[in-house]
């Protein structure tokens, strides 16, 4: 890569750079081979709108044309972008996805104005310097998890984040749709999941130890047509949507809607003024988990049946994390199920629960993904592990022949605070700076070459307990997501050898792109006055995070 290149993520190679370039003009055409129609639509609707150019249909081989081609000798997501001065631009991809990622690079080359929704200076001319860019991603799974259960993000905000992902060449959207604090997807056969489970009466403001409350009811959900729209919008951008329905923990919103899903033989006596739990209004690990009954299994099979119709993804995430076993230990029903199945303990009961849905999904041509707690009590056959409690779970899974998505909290939990200053809004956990994320390595050195092939890729996670609106999500996510995107896409050297100074230099240009997109990122100099949350209690932890 030349020192003048300001692309993020960094491409594999830039050759033959020149000062002269190709100018985009009102009669610049757009031509593409069959299979590139999606990128053609995107270029006209997004890039054309930003520059005020119609990009009319061009002819193959003609001057003054952006040409889109396919070449199956390239890797599927690889591309080659050739800018020939005074002639045109050719983007060649190994697949339609590769062509699309090349179009994202072209947008960056055109400057920040290309990231706006309409031209700000209609008389301005745009050009791209003469050069050839060769590029391909390191990982096939380059993900972002967005938690919409703790704080609901309306559909328009989700579509916006899909655009932001595409601009950073991220291709997996992990959609965290359910938790104790809310159920966010319409299930027709179980209407109470959204009638009751999608709303909570109030919300803890700040960390769970905070004395502050927002007494306004909070909620919302996506209709099935909303989901279809989100999935189709993502597909146009070559992003796979992986839904998450949490079982058997993190399920109080579902239990609030259908109390029989809970461990009724131990929880009814502890509920004041009635026989049902509310949707949870605070944060933390909840003791109210699903009952390991046939009724619960049939109920969630019904949920997943509707989900499979909405999400074509090969992968379906079932959570499996932070399931406290206290109720199962106290429940005669759960203990009877342990005895009936010949299980050793409650950990094996959770393994049985997850294993049931692993087999159920496999029979329907899908693959189960779960957080690394699904290792407890024995790993379900065919399951994919999201390794979040450090690297250890991923290492164990890979050595056992299971595929892994690396998302260790010590590096890629973007709700963690970005600096030690007192002005950081609602400081959570250890400090994880832009540089910390940039030096994250998804493949642990302990893995052999064969074991490392089980690392499908990596993912950044955005948990929204302390993010009440999209501006707070933006602040926590950016600019660190840009660093993560480079880690996921680019062939970087070892963490200690990475040129963070060069990345910072390129970020100077990238901040202008984020400004044009309206992203409320954390400035390098610290939070702006309106980005602070003075007096709202967080949970800061001192020192570097433990490396597990």
Question: Could you confirm whether 347 is annotated as catalytic?
Answer: no
Backbone CA torsion sign across 250, 254, 256, 258: negative
Q: Which of 179, 226, 372, 474 is catalytic?
A: 179
d(CA 385, CA 405): 6
Q: Which of 322, 345, 347, 441 is catalytic?
A: 322
Pull the structure tokens for residue 264.
């009724």
* Contact between 405 and 369 (Cβ < 8 Å): yes
Q: Which of 151, 250, 317, 402 is catalytic?
A: 250
d(CA 16, CA 132): 6
d(CA 119, CA 97): 27
| Pairing state between β 13-15 and 131-135 | antiparallel
d(CA 404, CA 388): 11
Token match 């080659």: residue? 80
Question: Could you confirm whether 130 is annotated as catalytic?
Answer: no
Axis-axis angle for helices 470-477, 480-489 (nearest 10): 50
158 to 145, 162, 217, 226, 241: CA distances (angstroms) = 11, 6, 21, 10, 11
* Contact between 412 and 460 (Cβ < 8 Å): yes
The backbone torsions φ and ψ at residue 183, rounded to the nearest 5 degrees and listed phi first, read: -115, 125
Question: Could you confirm whether 250 is annotated as catalytic?
Answer: yes
In three-state secondary structure terms, 481 is helix
What residues are annotated to the active site? 179, 250, 322
């Amino acid at each position: 890569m030349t020192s003048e290149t300001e692309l993020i993520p960094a491409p594999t190679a830039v050759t033959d750079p020149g000062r002269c370039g190709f100018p985009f003009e009102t009669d610049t055409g757009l031509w593409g081979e069959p299979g590139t129609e999606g990128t053609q639509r995107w270029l006209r609707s997004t890039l054309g709108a930003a520059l005020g150019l119609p990009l009319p249909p061009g002819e193959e081989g003609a001057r003054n044309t952006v040409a889109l081609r396919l070449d199956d000798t390239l890797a599927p997501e690889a591309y080659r972008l050739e800018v020939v001065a005074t002639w045109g631009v050719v983007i060649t991809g190994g697949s339609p996805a590769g062509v699309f990622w090349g179009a994202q690079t072209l947008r960056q080359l055109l400057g920040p104005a290309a990231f706006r929704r309409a031209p700000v200076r209609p008389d301005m001319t745009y050009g791209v310097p003469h050069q050839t860019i060769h590029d391909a991603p390191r990982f096939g799974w380059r993900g972002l998890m967005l938690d919409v259960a703790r704080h609901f993000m309306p559909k328009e905000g989700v579509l916006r984040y899909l655009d932001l992902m595409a601009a950073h060449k991220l291709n997996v959207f992990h959609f965290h749709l359910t938790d104790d604090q809310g159920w966010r997807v319409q299930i027709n056969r179980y209407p109470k999941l959204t009638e009751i489970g999608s709303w909570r009466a109030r919300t803890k403001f700040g960390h769970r130890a905070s004395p502050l409350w927002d007494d306004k009811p909070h909620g919302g959900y996506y209709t099935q047509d909303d989901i279809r729209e989100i999935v189709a919008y993502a597909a146009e951008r070559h992003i796979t949507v992986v839904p998450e329905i949490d079982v058997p923990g993190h399920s109080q919103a579902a239990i609030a809607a259908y109390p029989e899903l809970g461990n009724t033989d131990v929880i009814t006596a502890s509920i004041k003024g009635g026989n049902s739990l509310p949707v949870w209004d605070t944060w933390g690990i909840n003791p109210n988990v699903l009952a390991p009954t046939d009724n619960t299994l049939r109920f969630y099979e019904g949920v997943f049946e509707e989900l499979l119709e909405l999400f074509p993804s090969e992968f379906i995430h079932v959570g499996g994390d932070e399931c406290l076993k206290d109720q199962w230990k106290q429940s005669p029903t759960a203990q009877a199920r342990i005895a009936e199945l010949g299980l050793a303990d409650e950990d094996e009961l959770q393994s049985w629960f997850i294993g049931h849905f692993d087999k159920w999904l496999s029979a329907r041509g899908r693959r189960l993904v779960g957080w690394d707690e699904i290792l407890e009590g024995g790993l379900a056959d065919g399951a994919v592990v999201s390794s979040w409690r450090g690297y250890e779970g991923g290492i164990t899974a890979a050595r056992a022949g299971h595929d892994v998505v690396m998302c260790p909290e010590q590096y890629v939990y973007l709700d963690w605070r970005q600096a030690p200053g007192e002005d950081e809004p609602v400081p959570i956990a250890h400090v994880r700076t832009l540089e910390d994320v940039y030096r994250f390595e998804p493949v642990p050195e302990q893995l052999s070459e064969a074991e490392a092939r089980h690392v499908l890729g990596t993912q950044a996670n955005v948990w929204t307990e302390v993010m009440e609106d999209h501006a707070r999500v933006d602040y926590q996510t950016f600019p660190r997501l840009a660093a993560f995107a480079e880690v996921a896409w680019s062939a970087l050297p070892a963490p200690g050898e990475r040129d963070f100074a060069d990345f910072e230099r390129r970020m100077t240009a990238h901040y202008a792109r984020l400004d044009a997109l309206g992203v409320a990122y954390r400035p390098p100099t610290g939070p702006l006055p309106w980005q602070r949350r003075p007096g709202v209690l967080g949970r800061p932890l001192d020192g570097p995070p433990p490396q597990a």
